[in-house]
Amino acid sequence: PQGAVGPLVDSGASGPPASTAVRATTRDEIMRRAEKWVSARVPYSMTAYWSDGYRQDCSGFVSMAWDLGGNEWTGSLAGFGTKIARADLQPGDILLFHNPADPAAGSHVTIFGGWTDGTHSHYTAYEQTRPYTRKATTPMAYWSNSAQYVAYRYKGLTAQSGGSGSATSFPGASKFGPGADNAFVTQLGKLLIAQGGKRFYRVGAGPRWTDADRRATQAFQLAQGWKGKEADGIPGPGTWELLVKGTGRTIPAAGGGADEAPAFPGRGSFRPGQSNSDVQRLGTQLVKKGYGRYYAKGPDRRWTEADRRNVEAFQKAQGWRGSAADGYPGPETWRRLFA
């Protein structure tokens, strides 16, 4: 459900008629506005209006992010955009499903925040939904009515202030995360090292995304006082802006925090037949955390079925199921275990 086309409203007072003019904006600005609502956790409502005058539903959220002159709805947002192919999606574009037969039955719109993997099967969706604004990994194009979502690009989009390839413009979330290998990852690492993150890198910054990049990014985000999804270790427009401008709080020196977990040695260290110090370190930490029930004599350097079953118990305790709780540690299992 959503409200209809209407003017901006502040504190319940009606404003002037909604403007249909297309205002110029950039991808950075669109994503920065979207991040503000995510950070504020704006409650979902068809009738309430946030302090910036935009209605607190899915189409009001996009109206705000695109800096439209009024509050639109899913039936009118397409008029402010140009239809594009899903393969051409970039941060700031939208995925829109409007059901003309029954607008209240499934109509929805999300803001594309970048691909989350190389297969382009999932993306980071920024959306206004119950109970409040969120950004989350979402299957392309959505959980329901997926085939009916259409990709649009805002008509008023202008070039980034520094050019689309500028070192100062946020290149998009798709440039970071598992599988990423590009110059922006190198730049991110150098910026993080300059902000106190040198201890996370064994050999310095490089173009291939590693767990060191994620941990250093998360440490920087935590230093800003961010929590939860805002400190997930993946840089967004806000993280990038602070790093590039050098205006954020620096990463504190190691002092017993969760960011001191030893670097993840790689999945290959934990497989049948492996024998190394990382297996013993893993087992010792499992016992310390209370997940050593399957050890008959205690952990050692050789990977055994007891190690796998203890890891599986720890993973299930995180609420994970299926392949996420197979007993073989990945970077997130390792991070949580040593946190």
Phi, psi of 35 (to 5 degrees): -60, -35
Domains of the chain with bracketed CATH: 9-154 (3.90.1720.10), 173-260 (1.10.101), 267-338 (1.10.101.10)
Name, of 75-79, 177-181, 182-186, the range with top average pLDDT.
75-79
Residue 142 has pLDDT above 50, yes or no: yes
Using the CB atoms, write b or e for 20-59: b if 16+ within 10 Å. eebeebbbbbbbbbbbbbbeeebebbeeebbeebbbbbbb
Q: Which helix (H) or strand (E) holds 151?
A: strand 150-154
pLDDT tens figures, 277-296: 899 999 999 998 889 999 98
User: Distance between CA atoms of 270 and 303, rounded to whole angstroms?
Assistant: 6
303: pLDDT confidence band, cut at 50, 70 and 90?
very high
Contacts of 288 (CB under 8 A, 6+ apart): none
What pLDDT is stored for residue 167 in this prediction? 52
Q: Is the pTM of this model over 0.75?
A: no
More confident residue, 146 or 249: 146
If you write DSSP's letter for every residue of 9-67 in order, what string do you get? Answer: EETTEE-SPPP-----B-HHHHHHHHHHHHHHTPBP-SS-B-TTS-BSSHHHHHHHHTT
Using the CB atoms, write b or e for 126-136: b if 16+ within 10 Å. bbbeeeebbbb
pLDDT tens figures, 19-53: 567 888 888 899 999 999 999 999 999 999 999 99
Going from the C-alpha of 296 to that of each of 98, 168, 284, 300, 306, the distances in angstroms are 59, 55, 13, 11, 8
What pLDDT is stored for residue 319 in this prediction? 82
pLDDT tens figures, 143-158: 999 999 999 999 988 7
The structure tokens listed for 161 are 């202030």
Share of the chain above pLDDT 70, in %: 91
